[in-house]
Copies of this chain bind each other. A is one copy, B any other.
Amino acid sequence: MSIPDISFLEQVRNELGPQGSPEALNELIGELPPYDLSILLNNLTDPEQLLLLAALPPETTAETLEHFEPVEQYRFLDHLDPEITASILNLMPSDAIVELFTALHPRQTEQLFALLREPFQSQIHDQMSYPENSAGSLASVDYIAARRWWTAEQTLAHMRKVKATAELYNYIYVLDHRGELVGVLSLRQLILADPATRLEEIMVKKLITVPAKLDQEQAAQLLARYDLIALPVISDSGKMVGILTVDDIIDVLEEEATEDIHLLGGSGPVDTPYLKTRFVTFFRKRIVWLLLLFVAEAFTGNILRYYESLLTQVVALSFFIPLLIDTAGNAGTQTSTLVIRAMSVGEIRSSDFLKVIWREMRLGLTLALPMAGVTFLWAMMLGSPVNLSLTVSATIIVIITLSSTLGAIMPIVGKKLGFDPAVFSSPMITTLTDAVGLLIYFRFARLLMGL
């Protein structure tokens, strides 16, 4: 469902009203998936939302809430009956709770925290001690843990006993008596095994694990690379913290790509959905960058003023300034974008840096030659004298090569200095290519036009 149709909405509204019946409501929305329920909720009034949430099974509400921003989640949880709120909270996956608690005011967090049951309370407490955006804070504690000496039959019996929760994946994690992870086996292996087999006989012992402190982006790439559905997250002391699941990872990868795209577009990254982001947030993120780039470009004015007498003698020199500046910018942006993306998805390592720079320099020169030809022809067509046309096209050769090379160097230098390559590159490339480009242009003009 994209947008619920009006008649369906009316029916739901009726069943939520004083004449409605819970059975009819359940008939209507009983099998809707959580995402569809979240769309439905967005089309209801505040009181109707609360009536609907209270009518849903708490498991479903818990899953539906995940499609809302923390502020909205809190509004729902705060307005529902505390008992209902408690059962919803205790059914939410631990990573969703950590995200919610991190976003709320400490007083609000405290109020909700009190509703959690043990041992969930201390699990959440532990998980919140990991830095934001680390694998530990993203991990979910809803996994099946078994002991190495259990049999397949015992394990299946344990699984039947454990409460059904939203997230359950394909693997069973095998712990030793200290809670350290010693092996893993798939649900399929468990089903196919002889009921009397001990887990330690069939489990896989070579494990791919994620350190709890690892940055979420690197953890995401680990999971993507090994094509796995879930990876166990391990604390410094070797204890199992939880599992990192592929659906969380999809969100992380989407967020990281969005962040890169926003930075490459020359604005601070915005992490809320476009239509839910406030005007003032966009303003703040964008004005900072516009000012930064303004400062980067302000030099060009000084350079032009310095060459005022040259410009007075040959006004036609100024005709080509926008084209030169834009073309240098385009070539630099092409390179930096390709290099930054390749770095983000792990296609370029530190050991490749020199190779990349050398390659982009050669590529820049190869691109510059035909572009210089086109520029020469165009300048002649515009009625410029030959020596001016030569000046412009010679400048094109140098600045395309230069900006292409800088486009590779800047992200790499940025990364080495500990910046996000996407933040560092754009203003540096603009400043350097604009300023150096103009200097070269006037130098060539002096040389080739005898000024």
Contact = CB atoms under 8 A, between A and B. Distances in A.
A339 B277 CA distance: 12
A224 interface: yes
Interface string A356-391: 100100110011001100110010001100000000
Given A254-B253, A290-B330, A290-B334, A318 B321 contact: yes
A156 B63 CA distance: 29
Interface stretch (A10-18, A102-110, A130-138, A280-288): A280-288
A331 B359 CA distance: 31
Interface stretch (A80-88, A120-128, A293-301): A293-301
A120 to B, nearest CB: 21
A354 B35 CA distance: 26
A260 B262 CA distance: 11
Nearest to A263: B337
Given A159-B191, A261-B260, A274-B342, A302 B250 contact: no
Contact of A367 (B208, B286, B297, B374): B286
A290 B331 contact: yes
A308 interface: yes
A44 interface: no
Interface string A213-249: 0000000000011111100000000000000001101
Contact of A275 (B279, B315, B347): B347
B160 A192 contact: yes
A266 B316 contact: no
A213 B249 CA distance: 26
A229 B246 contact: yes
A42 interface: no
A293 B328 CA distance: 11
B327 A325 contact: no
- Give the number of times this chain occurs in the complex, counting copies: 2
B330 A304 contact: no
A47 interface: no
B191 A168 contact: no
B289 A334 contact: yes
Contacts of A409: none
Contacts of A341: 258, 261-262, 265, 274
A201 B370 CA distance: 70
A177 interface: no
B250 A301 contact: no
Interface in A177-212: 186-188, 191-192, 204-206, 208
B227 A66 contact: yes
Among A225, A261, A300, max chain B CB count under 10 A is at: A261
19 contacts: A31-B205, A33-B208, A159-B192, A187-B187, A227-B247, A229-B229, A246-B246, A254-B257, A264-B337, A270-B338, A274-B339, A274-B348, A279-B366, A283-B367, A287-B367, A293-B327, A294-B327, A297-B327, A301-B319
Given A170-B170, A311-B318, 4 more contacts: A31-B206, A170-B187, A250-B253, A262-B337
In the A-B complex, the 5 residue pairs with the smallest Cβ-Cβ separation, listed nearest first, are: A265-B337, A274-B342, A257-B257, A31-B206, A318-B318
